[in-house]
Structure 1
Amino acid sequence: MIRIQSIKKRICKKNRELQLSYANRNLDKNISRSVICNNCVGAMVLHDFGLCFNSPFVNLYITAPEYIKLLSNIEYYCSPTASIRDITESAHYPKGLLQNEITLHFLHYDTFEEAEKKWRKRCERIDYNNLYVILVQQSSCNDNLINKFDKFTFKKSIALVNHLIPGINKQFTIPGWENAVTLGAITEYSDISGKRYYDSFDWRKFLDL
């Protein structure tokens, strides 16, 4: 079973590479875009299109309540000189406390030092006039937080949800989790074609590609 899953994953990866190679031929990559996201989805989408990581939200996640707090004063929290204290508790992955208020879960970094360096370097690249902001509805994300997110006035913003929420203007339902409490692993492959669950959203249109 494990071998079959491994083969299937390799096929999915190859199919995806072929699709993206063809689809990305005529993209406008000259526009400065800073994608902000509470988990890995934003960075994976940028990687799909071969775009630069012009924000520090790469290989990490932030809980939804703290993400909304960060977005309410993003230039303060994402200042390259903002304080980040090492609060790593175990060997699983490093953590940093941003401005003594927001926990950065550096999920895909080996050390706190590496993560902090990357965070600060990428904070310097943020274009606050071209923010593309994503909220992925996962654990700790409720309708009240999504409502607060919907009121932000960034250039572009979208909440990816598992069901339509009344009164929310900037939302998109990702199929497959209609009966769940929140979305699951939407970065996983949805079928053998190489499509991921998050591909159901029109990222080209959202990112002005």
Structure 2
Amino acid sequence: MTYKEFINAARVKIRERMNLYLGQYRKKKLLDENVTIISNNCWGGHVYRYLGIEYLSPTIGLYFFADDYVKFCRNLKYYIGQELQFISVDKSKHKDNLIERNTKCPIGVLDDIEVVFLHYKSEQEALEKWNRRSKRINWNNIVFKFSEQNYCSMKEIVEFDELPYDRKIMFTTKDYHAKSQILWGGVCIKGDIPNDTILFREFIDLIKFINGEDCKKRQRYAERKLKRLNKAEA
């Protein structure tokens, strides 16, 4: 573990402990704490714990590749209604990418999309928690979050931005003039956001996001940083 990784791990550990005490006060600011957060990765779980509210979403402790995630969001009820199956890494359409990442976790399949259960030890655990949390979805109060990672292209950025949902955001490494974009001022590597959970609330007001208000913050800082980074990588 590098020094930076150690610091980040310690930061998250302290934050999780503080959430146990402060979450009960934060959630009082929500108009409705019974919210379903659909996220392309572990970000949603961090938000739930920060706010001290129950997981009303199956997208906890896992991630999707970008094209699969946009499909999932576009036809959410359909995919939630599919029976979760499991395959080996060798059978995955993302085989090369998963092998490159030395993936050992369960790989789920919902019709034509795949779900990488990153923080699950077994298929049984993944299946039980997916089914249990899917039943909790509040179809009347859903927010969607996406980020430019896991082989995200301009195609997915445009398609996500055009989804017919009012409360959706996506963290991006450039200004694409998309309505739902929030410029990410954290670590970016060649147009990819490797991790958006350490600084998960650095560029967004979570309370305002859940409440359906303008939630962007620190965008001038993010814009300046991204311009310098993109210029250096050009």
- Residue 153 of structure 1: CA displacement? 2.0
What is the 5 A alignment of 1:1-209?
Answer: 6=6, 9-10=9-10, 13-14=13-14, 17-18=17-18, 21-22=21-22, 25-28=25-28, 30-79=32-81, 82-89=82-89, 92-99=104-111, 101-166=112-177, 168-177=178-187, 180-188=190-198, 196=199, 198-208=201-211
Aligned residues: 198
- Residue 76 of structure 1: CA displacement? 0.8
Structure 1 residues 26 and 66 mapped into 2: Cα distance closer, same or farther (>3 Å)? closer
Which runs of 5 or more residues in structure 2 are unaligned?
91-102, 213-234
Distance 1:124 1:19 in 2: 25
Could you state the TM-score of these two structures normalised by the residue count of structure 1? 0.82
Question: Which structure features the higher share of helix residues?
Answer: 2
Give identity over the alignment, percent: 26
Please state whether the residue corresponding to 2:37 is helix, strand or coil: strand
Distance 1:19 1:84 in 2: 31
Distance 1:93 1:77 in 2: 21
- Residue 176 of structure 1: CA displacement? 2.9
Q: Which amino acid aligns with 1:93?
A: C
- Residue 143 of structure 1: CA displacement? 2.0
Structure 1 residues 2 and 67 mapped into 2: Cα distance closer, same or farther (>3 Å)? closer
- Residue 148 of structure 1: CA displacement? 0.9
Structure 1 residues 72 and 177 mapped into 2: Cα distance closer, same or farther (>3 Å)? same
Distance 1:41 1:182 in 2: 16
Higher relative contact order (CA 8 A, sep 6+): 1
- Residue 95 of structure 1: CA displacement? 0.8
- Say whether the 8 Å CA contact 1:163–1:178 is kept in structure 2: no
Q: Which amino acid aligns with 1:139?
A: N
- Residue 180 of structure 1: CA displacement? 2.8
Residue deviations 1:1-28 (CA, integer Å, cap 9, x gap): 9689647743664367448845752533
Structure 1 residues 133 and 22 mapped into 2: Cα distance closer, same or farther (>3 Å)? same
Please state whether the residue corresponding to 2:38 is helix, strand or coil: strand
Which runs of 5 or more residues in structure 1 are unaligned?
189-195
- Residue 56 of structure 1: CA displacement? 0.3
Residue deviations 1:148-201 (CA, integer Å, cap 9, x gap): 1111122410011122113x111101103466311121223xxxxxxx254221
- Say whether the 8 Å CA contact 1:33–1:130 is kept in structure 2: yes
Distance 1:127 1:8 in 2: 33
Distance 1:125 1:32 in 2: 9
